[in-house]
Amino acid sequence: MYSKKVMEHFRNPKNAGELKKANGIGEVGNTACGDVMKVYIKVEKGIIKEAKFLTFGCCAAIAASDAVCAIVKGKTVDDAMKLTKQDVIDYLGGELPQLKIHCSILGIDALKAAIKDYKEKHA
């Protein structure tokens, strides 16, 4: 059902955990499936230096959260705001079951909420 890359990000997420010195935090959830994602970012001079996540959800939700954090490290906050579900799906090997695509969108939404939080604090 899941690609090897999705399973790798699920079993061994490299970006899981709380980021103590985050200067942007975003949290989203989906009441239909019960997934909840929290993304922490540390931004320096407009560049995302670190990104971590905490996710309560399925295999795809955890893998997508890890992928989102991996993709945006080193990007400007403006470039990170342009992240799409296809970017996440491609990063995960191009395969997510159709019923799990919403998980990638939730990860992006949590990231965008963290960026919004950062921008509000540093306007």
From 58, 59, 69, 103, the catalytic residue: 103
* Rounded Cα–Cα distance for residues 10 and 4 (Å): 10
59 is catalytic: no
69 is catalytic: no
From 33, 58, 59, 69, the catalytic residue: 33
Handedness of CA 35, 5, 17, 65 (dihedral sign): negative
Listed in sequence order, the residues at least 6 apart from 98 whose beta carbon sits closer than 8 Å to its beta carbon are: none
* Rounded Cα–Cα distance for residues 36 and 121 (Å): 23
Catalytic residues: 33, 103
